[in-house]
Amino acid sequence: MTEYSFHYENVRRRGRYAFVFTVMILALLLMAVININTGPVKISLKEIAGILFAGQTDGTEYDIIWQIRMPRILMAAILGGALSLSGFLLQVFFHNPIAGPFILGISSGAKMVVALTMIFSLGSVGSMSSLAMIGAAFAGSLLSVGFVLLVSRRLHNMSALLVAGIMISYICSAVTEFVITFAEDSDIVNLHGWSQGSFSGMSFGNVRVCGVIIALAFLAAFLMSKPIGAYQLGEAYARSMGVNIRVFRVVLILLSSIFSACVTAFAGPISFVGIAVPQIVRLTLHTSRPLIVIPASFLGGAVFCMLSDLIARMAFAPLELSISTVTSVLGAPVVIWMLVHHCINS
């Protein structure tokens, strides 16, 4: 009985996974319904059902639902998932539970390059295509990652890595602020709103581009579950099990950068989701198995961002908070708790 008890344990664990996934999917649906039903313009549930399912195509309600609320909800879900997954991949990469795109300065790098591209090459913010935005953000992400990698090669210390990330974050923000100071007025307004982080003003065109890129990246990340699992045992063991570490690390960084680039390009830098969500998900599932944690992190990130967006929109309506304000308030305590917990354990 005791000798084989890990079988029972495995069965028990599967039950737990199924339960957590079910709860998260229900939460996702609930969030979608609440989000769609909430806003300055009251639309009854019946009308919403009519617009969504019965093909009702006229009136401002139709436009509000399809042009404003739906893209926003979808974007919050997709980008939230992407952000959370980006954090998870970085945590795997650095063997560091407190790594994330925001804290390592990757979001700030992306923001800087997007801001520079907007101001210098295109003149006005509105004219930039979705793909160009993502491209610029991706370049910025890689720039920051490159710097952090350089530092991490010399310092194998968890806190030193974070300090390096925070430093690059400050440098990038300084550069961004600097160019904004000298930019045209109309640019500043747009840039300012964007650089605070928000899911507002999304179109279905944005959703489509983001959806496709993130779906592909998600699939790639999911297919990497196996080597990620091996890598969790440490580089040397992973290599001995047949993982080509050099290729693996490059792919991991590229995927993580794609995720955070998409987020930053459309919603601006969003803090703490990348650290807090994967951690909560892991603890809830009580496992690190990437095969489970990757989809769960994505779902969790989606729910978390939809909730945060709801709070951002509604807490002080008609004033709208920036999304980072909400995610920080929700996420930072989790990170602080993790830091304390981690120090006690080690």
Partner 1 sequence: MADYYFKTRDLKVGYHGRALLENIRIDLEKGEILTLVGPNGAGKSTILKSITRQLEILGGRVAVGGKKLTELTYQELSRKMAVVLTDRVRPELMTGHDIVAAGRYPYTGRLGILSREDERKVEEAMELVNAGGLGKCLFTSLSDGQKQRLLLARAICQEPEILVLDEPTSFLDIRYKLELLDILRRMAKRQGITVVMSLHEIDLAGKISDKVLPVKAGCIYDYGTPEEILREDFIRELYGMDRGSFDPVFGSIELPRPGGEPETMVISACGRGIPVYRRLQKEGTPFIAGILYENDIDYQLARHLASRVIREKPFQEISVKVYEEAREAAFSCKKVYYTEIPWGTANARLRKLLEEVKGEAGIECTGLQEQLC
Structure tokens at 35: 């989000």
Stretch binding partner 1 (CB under 8 A), from 5-13, 48-56, 172-180, 322-330:
5-13
22: amino acid identity, one letter: T
Structure tokens at 116: 């520079």
Count of chain residues binding partner 1 (CB under 8 A): 33
CB of 214 to partner 1, least distance (A): 20
The single residue among 28, 47, 289, 339 that binds partner 1, judged by CB under 8 A, is 289
**Residue 337 interacts with partner 1 (CB under 8 A)?**
no
Alpha helices in the chain (DSSP H): 5-37, 45-53, 59-63, 70-94, 106-116, 130-154, 158-181, 185-196, 204-223, 225-231, 235-240, 245-267, 273-285, 290-314, 323-345
CB of 242 to partner 1, least distance (A): 3
Name the one residue in this structure whose structure tokens are 């300090």: 163
251: amino acid identity, one letter: V
CB of 156 to partner 1, least distance (A): 13
The single residue among 291, 330, 332, 339 that binds partner 1, judged by CB under 8 A, is 291
**Residue 237 interacts with partner 1 (CB under 8 A)?**
yes
Q: How far is 342 from 336, CA to CA, in rounded Å?
A: 10
Stretch binding partner 1 (CB under 8 A), from 81-89, 189-197, 220-228, 264-272:
220-228
Q: How far is 122 from 137, CA to CA, in rounded Å?
A: 15
**Residue 4 interacts with partner 1 (CB under 8 A)?**
yes
**Residue 284 interacts with partner 1 (CB under 8 A)?**
no
Nearer to partner 1, 37 or 232 (CB): 232
Cis omega (within 30 of 0) on the bond before 318?
yes
Q: How far is 16 from 199, CA to CA, in rounded Å?
A: 32
Nearer to partner 1, 235 or 320 (CB): 235
Cβ atoms of 93 and 249 within 8 Å: the answer is: yes
The single residue among 109, 229, 269, 295 that binds partner 1, judged by CB under 8 A, is 229
Stretch binding partner 1 (CB under 8 A), from 48-56, 117-125, 187-195, 281-289:
281-289
**Residue 124 interacts with partner 1 (CB under 8 A)?**
no
The single residue among 131, 244, 329, 337 that binds partner 1, judged by CB under 8 A, is 244
Which string of b and e fits 110-130 if b means at least 16 CB within 10 Å?
Answer: bbbbbbbbbbeebeebeebeb
Nearer to partner 1, 111 or 282 (CB): 282
Structure tokens at 67: 């042009």
Of residues 175, 164, 89, the one with CA closest to residue 140? 175
**Residue 156 interacts with partner 1 (CB under 8 A)?**
no
**Residue 230 interacts with partner 1 (CB under 8 A)?**
yes
**Residue 242 interacts with partner 1 (CB under 8 A)?**
yes
Structure tokens at 182: 């000298």
Query: Which residues in this chain contact partner 1 in the complex, by CB under 8 A?
Result: 2-6, 8-10, 97, 223, 225-226, 229-230, 232-234, 236-237, 239-244, 282-283, 286-289, 291, 345
